[in-house]
Chains A and B, each alone.
Chain A
Amino acid sequence: MAEREWSGESERRCDFATLWAESYDKLRTYVRIFVPLLHDADDVLQDTAVAIAKDFDKYDPSRPFLEWAIGIARNRVLQYYRKRGRDRRMIFDVDTISKIEGSLMELEPHIDSYEESLEFCLQKLPDRARRLLELRYTCCLNATEIAEQLKMTVQSVYTRLSQVRVTLRDCVRRQTRESGGTAL
């Protein structure tokens, strides 16, 4: 009896591991849209993993796992902002959150090809733009630190990072269309 229970428990964990791994990057994207600070986003994602693991027996396998997991991630994001209090506020209201979630679910089937195209587009970036992204992501510098390094104003760093991401978005859209995928 105990052995059977153990076997069921083990299987449940493997189901969880599979679904979590399949959805990991989408959930990470979801959390990072709302929680910009890297370590905070990682903490929220970690909390989400724990909550999902705890409640996994409540998950209805006939429903999409990502949709269910996003509901849990949303609660953890909102909890994070409640704990942060005044120093950081949630910038999107509930209606907007719901629309962003709707868009993520719509894009979900295409995200894999999106990510492949992104890898190609990153390679095509001019050196200066690539350097900017490396300072931001590899060196984990904030806009003020990047501004100091590149002798730019902080505002122009924000603007330039925004331009680079929009350039990547446009490139990915083109790539996806050219490769015959669904236009994003």
Chain B
Amino acid sequence: MKSPIELLNAHFDGRVLTAEEARVLSQWAATDPANARTVVELGIIHSQVDYRLSVARFIDEIGDSEDPAIQRSIESAMESIEIGSYRDKSLPLATVVSKPKRQSERLRGWVTAAVAASLLFAFVSVLRSSTTDQDASPEVAAATPEGQSSPQEAPLAAVVATVTEAIGVESTGVAPFRRGKYVRGGEALELKEGVLALTTADGSEVVVEGPASLVFEDGQRIALKAGRLSARVDEEATGLVVTTPTATVVDLGTEFGVGIGPHLETSVAVYDGVVELYGASSDGLANSPSKRITAGRAGQVNADGTLNWAVQTLPNDREFIRPDEIASLRKARAGSAEARQQTSFYALQRTRGLVAFQSFDLPSDGSAYSVSFRGSPPRTTASPTLVDDLQAKHLYSSGALRVGEAENAFLDIDNSSDAPFARAKLLTDRGLVGRSGAELWLAWKTRVIDPERIGDHAGLSLMFGDQSRTQEPLFIGYSGGRGLLGIVSNVGSRAVELELDANPETFAVDPVGLDDRTHQWVLQLIFGERGDKIAVWCDVPLDAIRETRPQAETVNANVMFDRLRMGVSAGASDWVFDDFVMATSIDAISDVDRLQSDDAAGAR
């Protein structure tokens, strides 16, 4: 365990502390006032060093706004603050902008701009929520972006939203989308592609995914004609209404996504709070049938406007690009590998059919970038050892888990009712994976450090308790000291052993021995009423699995599990395990692999 000061600094540097580390740090800071003071002192150093050293970065960010409107907005705000201070307070600007006499000229300019930017944002946000264009202040009028007349000059519709980010946006409209662009009531937004983030006059955040066509009718009503959007409604501003050709979605204080399908059917996903979903088949909202959709649920209105009464559990939390994803997209675009990893992970979570993922993220000891596995780090009989990734083509901070001689490591599956396994209807009544009629695919990688040291066994087990054999319906690896890869299917006290056949197209079994190469494993489980079908492939390209005969195939009377065990017997070499992906289809496994490759390609 690191010292509390090291933990605090690691926290400052973005490392996600484990729950235990956080508890230790928090307790330490609370036990002695000197410790709390140390937290503040190191916080000042962290913040101030960043302040002083990040001038170039800040200038880059400002420079990013080639849009002269943003530059002018900052200048205008500064001007108004300066004039206002002289006029009303008789204060020199120096007093207003945070101790410039003691700071270098370069820093002074930057601090001034930073304070001004924050002030401008605050002023404009407050004004938008409390006033109309007609009574906007001179300060705000001065900050109106280029090409948009001041409200006094022309009777334009009220500003109902502001573009806060435009990522890869191509529009069919005349004006390009840029940060700071105002959207006026009734203005049509047509996106061919890209992601557009906006803040409405009420402070709600809206993200539009292209291609899309929509109109902000006013600050509280959006007509979505095609495409997808998500919205996070400010706590104090409930009542955002999104209409589609077939439905009306009324926010009741929430975060939600709305999408229009190819036949104009409307789907709604609720991430937080509640929405009321109306079908558009009858006249008038008050007379339309409606369904209340709560957090974690999805609703649908059919193409003919009839309400689908069956509310579904959300397959994942990232089906829509949500407002909190925008900051990561922005940073990824600026070249941050960490942000690119985060956005790749969001995209990965959107993979249809994905139920679990673990790539052993190094900085967080495996807790970050993981789906459906409980606990962090993995539960082990010794201390867990995370090592470098088995292959370079993965999320950039991911590693791998090394399991040593006579050690077991467990990945416990999250079988709670709102977790992906439950949502995918893979769980039995006892909460174990293995519901009849379901299909599950599992992919993972392994490498043996020293293939000469065999011992008794090593490999992966599917288990419903920690006891070998009795709570271990399936094992994939080698056993019995033979050093040949295969599977062991335990049924009660009986074990059925099957060797992998390197060439299943021929009659004779061509056994697969140990070596020190990295191997890609794929397991298919089809859970049936009378037996569960098991098929295993080793080193078969993922996109060729469907056309390739399994290298081992058997049937087990009852495979069920709630944990994966990576085990190495006494006398055996260390094994490295990596990239566990579980999904309801092989296509989803391939998609995840592709996303990881894309991320790695981007990182290079």
Contacts and interface: CB of A to CB of B under 8 A. Distances in A.
Given A46-B122, A134-B53, A169-B45, 13 more contacts: A21-B115, A25-B111, A32-B43, A46-B118, A46-B121, A96-B30, A100-B39, A122-B49, A137-B53, A165-B42, A165-B45, A166-B5, A169-B41
B121 A18 contact: no
B12 A36 contact: yes
A18 B129 contact: no
Given A11-B88, A43-B327, A93-B26, A119 B123 contact: no
B85 A17 contact: yes
Nearest to B37: A103
Nearest to A153: B362
Interface of A: 9-11, 13-14, 16-18, 20-22, 24-25, 28-30, 32-33, 36-40, 43, 45-46, 49-50, 52-54, 83-84, 87-89, 91-93, 95-96, 99-100, 102-104, 106-107, 111-112, 114-116, 118-119, 122, 133-134, 136-140, 142-145, 154, 157-159, 161-162, 165-166, 168-169, 172, 184
B29 A96 contact: yes
Contacts of A13: 84, 123, 137, 139
Contacts of B44: 29, 107, 111, 114-115, 118
Contact of B33 (A25, A103, A136, A168): A103
B50 A38 contact: yes
B125 interface: yes
A77 to B, nearest CB: 13
B122 to A, nearest CB: 4
B48 interface: yes
Could you say which interface size class chain B belongs to? 35 or more
A86 to B, nearest CB: 9
B548 interface: no
A109 to B, nearest CB: 13
A140 B426 CA distance: 43
Q: Is the interface of B mostly helix, strand, loop or mixed?
A: helix
Interface stretch (B17-25, B432-440, B481-489): B17-25
B112 to A, nearest CB: 9
Contacts of A95: 30
A179 B118 CA distance: 34
Given A18-B85, A138-B54, A158-B15, A100 B126 contact: no
Given A14-B88, A20-B119, A165 B46 contact: yes
22 contacts: A20-B118, A21-B96, A24-B111, A28-B47, A29-B43, A32-B43, A36-B13, A39-B327, A46-B122, A50-B125, A53-B123, A89-B22, A96-B29, A106-B37, A114-B41, A122-B52, A134-B53, A140-B54, A144-B363, A161-B12, A162-B5, A165-B49
B520 interface: no
B495 to A, nearest CB: 39
B539 interface: no
Interface in B311-328: 324, 327
A143 B57 contact: no
Given A17-B119, A53-B125, A154-B362, A99 B14 contact: no
Contact of A144 (B48, B98, B102, B396): B396
Nearest to A111: B44
A87 B45 contact: no
B51 interface: yes
A95 to B, nearest CB: 5
A137 B48 CA distance: 10
Contacts of A54: 125-126, 129-130
B331 interface: yes
A22 B118 CA distance: 13
A144 B362 contact: yes
A107 B37 contact: yes
A21 B47 contact: no
B278 to A, nearest CB: 27
Given A20-B115, A39-B330, A96-B29, A143 B14 contact: yes
B84 A17 contact: yes
Nearest to A11: B88
Interface in B378-435: 396-397
Given A21-B96, A32-B47, A162-B10, A107 B57 contact: no
A16 B126 CA distance: 12
Interface in B69-104: 81, 84-85, 88-89, 91, 95-99, 102-103
B187 interface: no
A33 B115 contact: no
Given A91-B17, A136-B13, A22 B36 contact: no
Contacts of A83: 232, 324
Most central of B41, B51, B330 by chain A CB within 10 Å: B41
Contact of B29 (A24, A92, A154): A92
B24 to A, nearest CB: 10
Given A29-B48, A46-B121, A142-B338, A158 B13 contact: yes
B6 interface: yes
Task: Please provide the 4 A-B residue pairs with the shortest distance between their CB atoms, ordered closest to farther.
Answer: A162-B9, A33-B43, A91-B22, A137-B53
Contacts of B11: 36, 91
B368 interface: yes
A168 B38 CA distance: 12
Given A17-B119, A40-B327, A84-B324, A107 B51 contact: no
Contacts of B50: 32, 38, 137
Nearest to B95: A18
Contacts of A39: 327, 330-331
Nearest to B324: A83
Most central of B11, B44, B362 by chain A CB within 10 Å: B44
B16 interface: yes
B40 interface: yes
B56 interface: yes
B336 interface: yes
A37 B36 CA distance: 21
B19 A89 contact: yes
Most central of A14, A43, A46 by chain B CB within 10 Å: A14
B137 A10 contact: yes
B277 interface: no
Nearest to A90: B22
Interface in B324-342: 324, 327, 330-331, 336-338
A47 to B, nearest CB: 9
Contact of A107 (B22, B41, B126, B362): B41
A38 B5 CA distance: 20
A126 B266 CA distance: 61
Contacts of B157: none
B496 interface: no
B114 interface: yes
Nearest to A12: B88
Contacts of B98: 21-22, 24-25
B40 to A, nearest CB: 5
Contact of A37 (B14, B40, B56, B96): B14
Interface string B336-373: 11100000000000000000000000110000100000
A1 B55 CA distance: 45
B15 A143 contact: yes
